[in-house]
Amino acid sequence: MIKAKPFVKWVGGKRQIIDKLLQYVPDEFNTYYEPFVGGGALLFELSPKKAVINDSNEELINVYKVLCDEDKFKKMCNVLNNYEANHSEDFFYEIRNKDRNKASFNRLSDYTRAGRTIYLNKACFNGLYRVNSKNEFNVPFGKKLKVNTYEGGNLITVSNYLTMNDIKILSVDFEEAVKDAKKGDFIYFDPPYDSDTSTFNSYTEDGFGKEQQKRLAKVYKELSDKGCYVMLSNHNTVLINELYKDYNIYIIEAKRNINSNGKKRGKVEEVIITNYENSKEFS
Ligand SMILES: C[S@@+](CC[C@H](N)C(=O)[O-])C[C@H]1O[C@@H](n2cnc3c(N)ncnc32)[C@H](O)[C@@H]1O
């Protein structure tokens, strides 16, 4: 069967290091949890039959939900066809600016909003997701002459995967998303990155700072103490090394493509942290 792939390009997406991540995935587990799912690179790679996926970005989660409903999915495809056909710089800004009027934005159907999210992701600069303090999407036009929102039928494959398996889709805080995890479940945390130089990361209207990283480390420990398999990825920073010093920390090199400053693109060290030993590590 053809495997689904991420249907959006997402900041911090894990496709480039997917082979490295796979080496650290436990051989067997019950339910798969991904509380910071983003584009879902590992979710689709593993394609578990039972999973709980979550992201605080409501527009993104709305797309996952629409993909789970046959009728809404068809309607979203019509929206995408229309957007692709009308694609231009002016059209991009017209669609982007729909969230400037909250009353009319809130009246849009969920499938229209889902189509808008996918279209903006493909048509904006570098596939970034950034909103201002009023929760208005503010990434500029990506200057592509044509956009391909379907990517060779991948959306259909994603929709089939989500509907034919037991996948619970949430948009809550990460702590709430894992509260039902039990011994033997596998949780993969891929939070917004920590940084040794800055104190603020902008993914959604509220950033994910040092305090959030510390709260996450507490949740990691609670799950570990419960007997869950817990894996986490982040940058190799002082704080992350301190917070997870009681666990296995593996350093890997990753090439990052999404950076608004082209000069800063390049290799950065990332870490994968597990609370279990992994036999695949040295094979
Ligand atoms: C590094 S990205 C995940 C990338 C993903 N693994 C992929 O392959 O595309 C981090 C995600 O965390 C989400 N996020 C930020 N704060 C959150 C919170 N408190 N609870 C849940 N999700 C949050 C962001 O919206 C973003 O999608």
pLDDT confidence band for 203 (50 / 70 / 90): very low
> Ligand 1: distance of its center to the CA of 108 in Å?
25
pLDDT confidence band for 205 (50 / 70 / 90): very low
Per-residue pLDDT averaged across 72-82, rounded? 96
Query: Do you know the residue count of the chain?
Result: 283
> What is the enclosing helix (H) or strand (E) of 269?
strand 266-274
Crossing angle for the helix pair 70-86 and 154-164, to the nearest 10 degrees: 160
The enclosing domain of 116 has a CATH number of: 1.10.1020.10
Distance of alpha carbon 132 from its chain centroid, rounded?
Answer: 19
- 43 and 139, same domain (yes or no): no
Residue 174 CB less than 6 A away from ligand 1: yes
Number of neighbours of residue 276 by Cβ within 10 angstroms: 15
Per-residue pLDDT averaged across 204-230, rounded? 90
> Does 255 map to a domain?
yes
- 178 and 49, same domain (yes or no): yes
CB 84 within 8 A of CB 76: no
249 phi/psi in degrees, rounded to 5 = -115, 115
**Higher local confidence (pLDDT), 11 or 168:** 168
| Nearest in space to 270 (alpha carbons), one of 237, 229, 244 | 237
What's the pLDDT score for residue 283? 46
Residue 233 CB less than 6 A away from ligand 1: no
239 phi/psi in degrees, rounded to 5 = -60, -45
Q: How many CA atoms lie within 13 A of 63 on its CB side?
A: 27
What's the pLDDT score for residue 137? 95
Partners of 188 in the beta sheet?
231
- 176 and 133, same domain (yes or no): no
Going by alpha carbons, the residue nearest to atom 5 of ligand 1 is: 38
pLDDT tens-digit readout, 109-154: 999 999 999 999 999 999 889 999 899 999 999 999 999 888 878 9
pTM: 0.92
Highest mean pLDDT among 94-98, 197-201, 257-261: 94-98
**Higher local confidence (pLDDT), 129 or 176:** 176
Mutate to test the pocket of ligand 1, among 7, 36, 130, 206 (most ligand atoms within 8 A of CB): 36
Number of structural domains in the chain? 2
The parent domain of residue 183 ranges over 15-56+172-282
What is the pairing mode between strands 248-256 and 266-274?
antiparallel
Going by alpha carbons, the residue nearest to atom 7 of ligand 1 is: 13
> Ligand 1: distance of its center to the CA of 56 in Å?
7
- 150 and 84, same domain (yes or no): yes
What's the pLDDT score for residue 266? 58
Going by alpha carbons, the residue nearest to atom 18 of ligand 1 is: 173
Residue 10 CB less than 6 A away from ligand 1: yes
